[in-house]
Amino acid sequence: MTINASSEKILQLLKTRGPLTAQQLAELLDMTSMGARQHLHQLQQEGLVSTFDRKEKVGRPNRYWQLTAEAQPHFPDRHAELTLTLIENVRELFGEEGLDQLIQKREREAQASYGRELAGAGDLPARLQRLAQIRSREGYMAEVIEQQPGCWLLVENHCPICAAASSCQNFCRSELAIFRHCLKARVERVEYILDGARRCAYQVTELPAESTR
């Protein structure tokens, strides 16, 4: 199906920001609310978005728009079917131990690659921003949100290896280890796509000074 540029931007916003009202989308896209609704209704006919009503503190409930499962193929998936086949082949030929060795090798290579790109980034906020840029380049649609002084949220709005992670969650354990190693910080996963969240998010805080020596 062919989707125009404005509708594509709507899909991107719903992916990165979660459910939004037509008015919120209109303001973000600098268009009228009627124009936003026209695009939304077209996307709804294509099965890419759905609605739900959320009661606010005052007044009538607001109608929110969100992505459907059918919208996910519009975002990178790193060839999910091929990845799943390869994982199963490794399991069959070498067992779980062989698969773990493969993931550990990928982890070491990622740590080395990220380490080179993060070299010279300076303090933790700078390293986080650089890491988000790297991850976005890889298809994770990453961003950094400062929660409070000394505490940040590394958000990944898309998981291009979701199929692989669903088949073998050691991929997720490995990525958490990569973040901790490269950022030299305390990193905890607080939102998880495989638990039903719309995104993965990691809370990042400075390690005590003695831990970084």
Q: Give 29-71 as a DSSP string.
A: HTS-HHHHHHHHHHHHHTTSEEEEEE--SSSSPEEEEEE-GGG
Q: pLDDT of 84-130, one tens digit each?
A: 788 889 999 999 999 999 999 999 999 999 999 999 888 999 999 99
Q: Which amino acid is at 74?
A: H
What pLDDT was estimated at residue 168? 86
Residue 28 in this model has a pLDDT that exceeds 90: yes
Q: Could you tell me the two tokens for 62?
A: 């607001």
Average of per-residue pLDDT values in the chain: 89
Q: pLDDT of 143-160, one tens digit each?
A: 999 988 899 999 999 988
pTM above 0.85, yes or no: no
Three-state secondary-structure class, residue 133:
helix
What pLDDT was estimated at residue 160? 85
Torsion, Cα 153 158 160 164, to 10 degrees, reads 80
Q: Could you tell me the two tokens for 34?
A: 């009627």
Share of the chain above pLDDT 70, in %: 93
Alpha carbon distance, N-terminus to C-terminus of the chain? 55
Structural domains for the chain: 5-74 (1.10.10.10), 80-212 (3.30.1380)
What pLDDT was estimated at residue 101? 94
What pLDDT was estimated at residue 59? 78
Nearest to 187 by CA among 173, 197, 166: 173
What pLDDT was estimated at residue 179? 97
Which helix (H) or strand (E) covers residue 65, if one does? strand 62-67
Which residues are CB-contacts of 209 (< 8 A; sequence separation ≥ 6)? Answer: none
Q: Which amino acid is at 113?
A: S
* Average confidence (pLDDT) over 165-188: 93
Q: How many distinct helices (H) and strands (E) make up the chain?
A: 7, 6
Strands 142-148 and 186-191, by their bridges, are: unpaired
What pLDDT was estimated at residue 213? 47
Residue 211 in this model has a pLDDT that exceeds 90: no
